[in-house]
Amino acid sequence: MKAVFAGGGTGGHVFPALAIAQRLKKNISDFKVVFIGKTGKIEEIIAKKNKFTFYGIPSGKFSEVRLAEISKFIFQTISGFIKAVFILTKEKPDFIIGCGGYVSFPTVLAAILLMKPVYLIEQNSLPGKVNRILAPFARKVFFGMPLEFDNKKNKKWIWTGNPLREDLVKKDRSETLNFFNFDPHKKYIGVVGGSQGARFFNEIMPQTLKLLGHKMDIGVIHICGKGNKREVKKTYRDLGVEANVLDFLEDMANMYSLVDIIVSRAGALTISEISVFGVPAVFIPYPYAAQDHQKLNAKKVSGFGAAVWMHEAEANPDRLAEAMENILKHNDAADKMKSAWKNFVKGDSVNTILSHIKEDLENSKNPCLPLGI
């Protein structure tokens, strides 16, 4: 048995696919996994790290289609499509999962032409450009966030939650305190800028946390992005704020399990990870995200009562410090937000997605594929 995962470009596209691929391998030892993406991007790194077969193909980027570049776009897209046809013909997968990103387009299009079962993963509340085009041809579309529209008439659009890796589980507080060598009596704040917007958080959060530190005894974990650690650490030190500044944290469960509040962008995968740990959050959506999808994500979560959000243009140190203080100083407010996450979490999203795929394949002309569930 074999599945092809098509897409990439960002971790938000690749990691949900990886979670599903790893579960398939865990459930069925001889299951074959193939990734198709762009050479040199994160999808190739992740696929090879996990010893999955990888093929690189060219792909045009829709947002960059200008008159002067349209011939290049058409050439890359057609080249990618032809190469994907040959790959799928060679590999003969039982089904294809498109995980988003421009590079998923040629492969999923090839799969449709070859009449292979196609399923799509959409991390956000609204589908991106590629998934919008491909959705009518997919058997099912699995959404990581609550749908932005009524799907009662279209049963193939399903809110499953975003697939997350199995090792993302809550840890004991004493274990995480020891990991960071922290004082157990403080309130802890997590700051995650992510790949889009680390600079904004690196500039505004030290001053914000200096103001908050005048009101309560706090500790800080600030993930600042590659190459920024020295400068951000110096800023905190100059302001007299004690902070653990990291350019990257491989095991995010250590931070999520410890912090009392988190300040972050509103990427779908970040929100899904935070939801597992039920941490009260302040979201500042990346204002230049496609279709303003981060704002939609933040509004969805705040609608559940699990977080508050504000526009980047309105997020000054005074307002941010006040919003955090209102949560941290009032246990009932924090408890309500923690409890609200329970209504957002969809359980084992990977198993839900595989169950839907299994049921769909059983009800089609394809042979029953157990998928280990």
Closest CA to 358 of 36, 13, 8, 20: 20
Please say whether the beta carbons of 121 and 99 come within 8 A: yes
Closest CA to 239 of 203, 265, 215, 263: 203
The per-residue pLDDT for 357 is 96
Q: What domain range includes position 283?
A: 173-344
> pLDDT of 293-345, one tens digit each?
899 999 999 999 999 999 999 999 999 999 999 999 988 999 999 999 998 88
Structure tokens of 251? Answer: 């095991």
Domain count, the chain: 2
- For residue 55, the surrounding DSSP H or E stretch is strand 53-56
CB atoms closer than 10 angstroms to residue 107: 30
Strand partners, 35: 5, 54
Is 254 among the domain residues? yes
The per-residue pLDDT for 347 is 85
Angle at 66 between CA 61 and CA 70, to 5 degrees: 70
The per-residue pLDDT for 260 is 97
Q: 101 with 246, same domain? A: no
Q: 11 with 132, same domain? A: yes
- Alpha-carbon distance 225 to 221, whole Å? 13
CB atoms closer than 10 angstroms to residue 114: 15
Please say whether the beta carbons of 110 and 134 come within 8 A: no
The per-residue pLDDT for 125 is 81
- Alpha-carbon distance 46 to 40, whole Å? 11
Please say whether the beta carbons of 127 and 314 come within 8 A: no
The per-residue pLDDT for 70 is 76
Is 79 among the domain residues? yes
Q: 146 with 13, same domain? A: yes
Q: What is the CATH number of the domain that holds 239?
A: 3.40.50.2000
The per-residue pLDDT for 371 is 63
Q: 263 with 123, same domain? A: no
Q: 222 with 312, same domain? A: yes
The per-residue pLDDT for 373 is 56
Q: Which stretches in the chain have pLDDT values below 50? A: 368
Say what the pTM is: 0.88
Is 56 among the domain residues? yes
